[in-house]
Structure 1
Amino acid sequence: MKGVYSILLLTVSNLFMTFAWYGHLHLFKKMAWFAKLGIFGVIMVSWGLALFEYIFQVPANRLGFAGNGGPFSLFQLKVIQEVITLTVFALCTVFVFKTDKLAWNHVLGFALLVAAVYVIFKKW
């Protein structure tokens, strides 16, 4: 169960990360008050969102890490996090930001990430 909670927390964490890192490039510009902010204001808003990223990511990693009784090694946690990051980013880009369309090369890249997960989790 710790593995499931870890993955769910990492997913929520990555939602905040995506908006902290990329929301100001497209989505937040549509808000009048945000559009008036200078770079320092944008950094502060992004930093505030990133705080919530860490509020979810740190417990996710602690729960999931084998050294704390979780099911994942550090390598496994990192690969899971990267796959979640790119999945959340792609879904937000296509369905929330609506700036790009999912293309064949994106799908191929994700398939290679799934292969990376397989290789990392495989006991040789």
Structure 2
Amino acid sequence: MKGFYTIVLLILSNSFMTFAWYGHLKFAEWKWFSKLGLLSIILISWGIALFEYLFQVPANKIGFQNNGGPFSLIQLKVIQEVITLIVFAIFTLVVFKTETFRFNHIIAFVLLVLAVYFMFKK
């Protein structure tokens, strides 16, 4: 069950982080937002990123083997990276409708899944 909670928390944390890192690129289309300076955009992104940490830290704490979780530190990192790329791909396709999902992206995701497989192989 700790593995499930870890993955759910990682998905939530990466959703907020993707939004914090790339959301402002879409928000620039809004008239009031486009008038903000870089410092304002950074502060808004930090505010959003705070929620990322509220999920990321517990995910790592719950999931880490030394805390009774099912994952090694390396496994946690690989899981987090794969989730990051999946969340980013979905975010890109949904929010930035000008992006397209191509065959080379599918190959890349298959290779990521294989990376996770080999990371967990004893």
Question: TM-score, structure 2 length as denominator?
Answer: 0.96
Equivalent residue letter for 2:39: F
Unaligned runs of 5+ in 1: none
Say if 2:28 is the partner of 1:37. Answer: no
Q: Classify the secondary structure of the residue corresponding to 1:116.
A: helix
Alignment of 1:1-124 (within 5 A): 1-25=1-25, 27-123=26-122
2-side partners of 1:13 and 1:98: how far apart? 23
The size of the alignment, in residue pairs, is 122
Unaligned runs of 5+ in 2: none
Offset from partner CA, 1:48-93 (integer Å, 9 cap, x none): 1111100100000100001101000001000000000000000010
2-side partners of 1:99 and 1:52: how far apart? 28
2-side partners of 1:24 and 1:99: how far apart? 16
The 4+ residue runs of structure 1 with deviation greater than 2 A are 30-33
Offset from partner CA, 1:26-57 (integer Å, 9 cap, x none): x2113222111100011001111111100100
Root mean square deviation of aligned Cα: 0.9
Deviation at 1:23, TM superposition (A): 0.8
1-side partners of 2:97 and 2:87: how far apart? 13
Question: TM-score, structure 1 length as denominator?
Answer: 0.95
